[in-house]
Structure 1
Amino acid sequence: MIALAVPAGAGPVGDTRQRIGAVLPGSSLFYWQVMRKGIEQAARDLHVDLLMRSPADGASIDGQPNIQLKMIDYLVRNGVAGILLAAEPLRDAVAPVAVPVVQVDRLSRDYPSVSIVSTNNLAAGKVAAMTLAPVLRQHAKVAILRLSPEIGATTERENGFASIAHEKGWNVTIDAYVGFRPHDAEVRIARIVSDYDGRLDAIFAPAEPIAYGALRVIRTLPPERRPRLVVFDWRPEFEDGLRSGEIHADIVQDPYRMGYLGLEVLVGRLNGHASASVIYIPTMTLTRDNVDSPASRKILDRFSR
């Protein structure tokens, strides 16, 4: 469990700042680490005190249901004026949060919120599939490696990809859940690929832990059997794969901007400013042809170790 208290910097004696809470689903994935950087920078720039708590990655789904709700209760009892939340699904519980909530990364119907800041995941899944349109013929064999039916954001990406696959006449010969833990996902992907009778033309990996496992599995295959790999999210290890062509394309979200803007919207709402109910942060499609562009490096530098 990660708990962070980020003061805004020195102010006048007796200065009273707003205290803002933030709850993410985890802390080990690069995606959440970069989002945390954006949230922390926004807290400094806006001169608010930030109290952030995150469970172990996947704890809400596997073993500690509703742990985020307990963290939210803790934050409210410690005087936060509002909460920035990337929510995991609740089980047999309701969430009557007593302070305003801005959701980030994904929309959860379990929590009432004043705004959501996220990727347009359905559209981004379609973009991922369209990167394959110039190179796949009708009846091409593709695999969709899904994360979890409980996570709406990745489900939207997966379904967006599947809709284009259907439109283009590709055969989705593998459509399987492989999980959210990198090692477990890699083991399942290796088994799926090994058991498949034939050659896959493409694989879609809709989130960082699946993308990491899929890349490692593809590297074990002889070059002539390697499918084109389209992934979501970024970690530094993906750069070599992109440059070598092992990764055909990477749809990169901007979690830094998402976290920064989410906190900015929340503080604005607390201070009486209006905001849109849904705010989409654009993705960037990376290939080996544009990975060195200034726009690409600006985003990727945020993921540096």
Structure 2
Amino acid sequence: MRFVLLAWCASVSMGASAEKACIGVVPAGGGYAFWGEVGRGARQAGLELGLDIYFRGPSDENNPDAQKEILAVIAQKRCSALVLAPNVPERAKEVAQLRLNGVPTVYIDRSFGGSEAAAIVATDNYLAGGVAGREMARILGKHGRVVVFRMKRGVTSTDDRERGFMAAVKAAGLSVVLDEWIGSNVGEARTRSESALERLKQPFDGIFTPNESTTLATLSSLQKAGLAGKVRLIGFDMSKAFIDALNKDHLYGVVVQRPYQMGYLGVRIAYAAASGKAPEQNVIDPGIFFVTRSTLNSPGFAQDLEPFLKP
């Protein structure tokens, strides 16, 4: 990978004058509405700035080698900056090497705590998890019993959401009757959540899931078990499937991030950094909001939800 990174750095100035500048945008995974919105925002920023945007992510967050291979492809395209949602801590070394050679990186959605990136555009995930926890406590009351289906150990964004949720529900007096990791892939998470619910012999009132894939998988498991709408599911992110589930009361609510803004701001900041302009802020939080069936059509949410409300 070191050879590829050095080749990338050497090629940046070669292609800059002859063709439009390229920004590589690499999500942690692919195939979900969240990453699709990141791509939509990135392309809009590229259109406004006259940039070529190369957007591609691995199909599965569990495949760090695929993300590494995509970075190699972007190197061949002579991109002058990178927008990256790293799926393993090892990406930090590669990003640090890029920085030393004048190719800035902006992290989106997550980081692993280093200073190698020019900036980070990400939700305050601990706070967002706390919002979900307080909503759960509000609808269940002090004696509610909760299941927590975590995603994957070591992913900082979902780890922080899970910690924030747990702190909020414990402070409110709720009891956690099951706490398990179910994985980042929808199929894997569906199988594990189904199995966990079958094994659970005590009653429960609510379930928390920390991202789009775990929410989609758990929604399917609840529907299969005949529990959708009978227990309160609070999840994360938004998709057309979640709109339908909210309207059917199969999903109580979701914490919605702003992935479009992550992609849009990530590209703009990366382009500025490649042009020698330091960002005014190193950490940018695009914000969140909580959506239920009763607030789906709130005017304040219209712009963020519009892509999912289209027929």
Place the TM-score, normalised by the shorter chain, in its bin.
0.7 to 0.9
Who is 1:67 aligned against?
A: 66
Shift of 1:133: 2.3
The 1:135/1:54 distance shift into structure 2, 3 A limit, reads: closer
Separation (CA, whole Å) in 2 of partners of 1:124 and 1:243: 23
- Which residue in 2 is equivalent to 1:237? 241
* Whole-Å separation in 2 of the counterparts to 1:79 and 1:219: 47
Q: Decide which moves more: 69-78 or 188-197.
A: 69-78
Matched position secondary structure for 1:54: coil
For 1:136, the equivalent position in structure 2 comes to: 140
2 CA distance for matches of 1:68 and 1:76?
A: 13
Residues 93 and 165 of structure 1: CA distance in aligned 2, closer, same or farther (over 3 Å): closer
1:131 and 1:244 map into 2 onto residues whose CA distance is 19
Q: How far does residue 73 in structure 1 lie from its aligned partner after superposition? A: 3.6
Amino acid at match of 2:293: R
Task: Measure, in 2, the Cα distance between the counterparts of 1:228 and 1:92.
Answer: 37
Counterpart position of 1:30: 33
Secondary structure class of the residue paired with 1:150: coil
Unaligned stretches of 5+ residues in structure 2: 1-16
- Distance in 1 (CA, whole Å) between partners of 2:91 and 2:82 is 22
Q: 2:79: which partner in 1?
A: 80
Q: 1:115 is matched with which residue: 119, 123, 130?
A: 119
> CA shift at 1:91, angstroms?
5.3
Shift in Å, 1:278: 0.1
Deviation at 1:290, TM superposition (A): 0.8
Return closer, same or farther for 1:74/1:226 CA change in 2, 3 Å cut-off.
same
What is the root-mean-square deviation in Å for CA atoms of aligned residues? 2.3
Map 1:73-222 → 2, pairs under 5 A: 73-90=72-89, 94-95=93-94, 96-97=97-98, 98=101, 99-109=103-113, 112-222=116-226
Q: Distance in 2 between matches of 1:110 and 1:155?
A: 17
Identity %: 27
Q: 1:280 is matched with which residue?
A: 285
Residue 232 of structure 1, CA deviation: 0.2
Aligned in 2, Cα 1:43/1:286: closer, same or farther, shift over 3 Å?
A: same
- How many residue pairs end up in the alignment? 288
Cross-structure match for 2:9: none
Alignment partner, residue 292 of structure 1:
297
Normalised to the residue count of structure 1, the TM-score between the two structures is 0.87
Would you tell me which structure has more helix in proportion to its own residues? 2
Alpha carbons of structure 1 residues 92 and 264: separation in structure 2 relative to 1, 3 Å: closer
Q: Distance in 2 between matches of 1:126 and 1:109?
A: 21
Deviation at 1:240, TM superposition (A): 2.4
Gaps of 5+ in 1: 1-13
Q: CA deviation digits over 1:171-217, x for unaligned, max 9?
A: 11111000111122111111111111121111001111111111122
d(CA) in 2 for partners of 1:300 and 1:92? 32
1:16-55 equivalence runs, <5 A: 16-55=19-58
In the other structure, the counterpart of 1:11 is none
Following superposition, the deviation at residue 111 of structure 1 comes to 7.8
CA distance in structure 2 between the aligned counterparts of 1:154 and 1:18, rounded to whole angstroms: 33
Specify the SS of the correspondent of 1:129: helix
The two structures have a TM-score, normalised by structure 2, of: 0.85
